[in-house]
Amino acid sequence: MAAQEYDYIVVGAGSAGCVLADQLSADGRATVLVLEAGGHDRRLWINMPIGYGKTFYDERVNWKFEAQPDPGLMDRRIYFPRGKVVGGSSSINAMVYCRGLPGDFDDWA
């Protein structure tokens, strides 16, 4: 395989990574390589809101991160599902969307 050069390398094809790659390459002058550890997002359980339960522990699309044992929680580990798939965690979040509050946007401005 011949070596290729890219102007930008984006690690992760989650929501932000895909948007960043699109913006960097939009004018056609820059070359962008997007690296994603997971596979495609064309899976039945990703495209079905009730499918969240099937992706919650599926190692093919979920990194299944856990925090270290926490003494304040009787040494329990908190589970953090994180997307390992195109679309990132947004692909495994049961299609939940929360609109930002106007006050939050005002505070950020």
DSSP tag of 107: H
C-alpha span between 109 and 104 (Å, rounded): 9
Is 101 found in the same domain as 59? yes
Is 43 found in the same domain as 4? no
Where are any strands of DSSP class E within 17-107?
32-35, 65-66, 79-80
Residue 75: which domain range? 38-108
Q: What is the pLDDT of residues 32-43, one digit of tens each?
A: 999 999 999 999
Q: What is the pLDDT of residues 46-55, one digit of tens each?
A: 998 889 899 9
**Which among 82, 2, 1, 19 is positioned nearest to 10, based on CA atoms?**
19
Is 43 found in the same domain as 29? no
Number of domains in the chain: 2
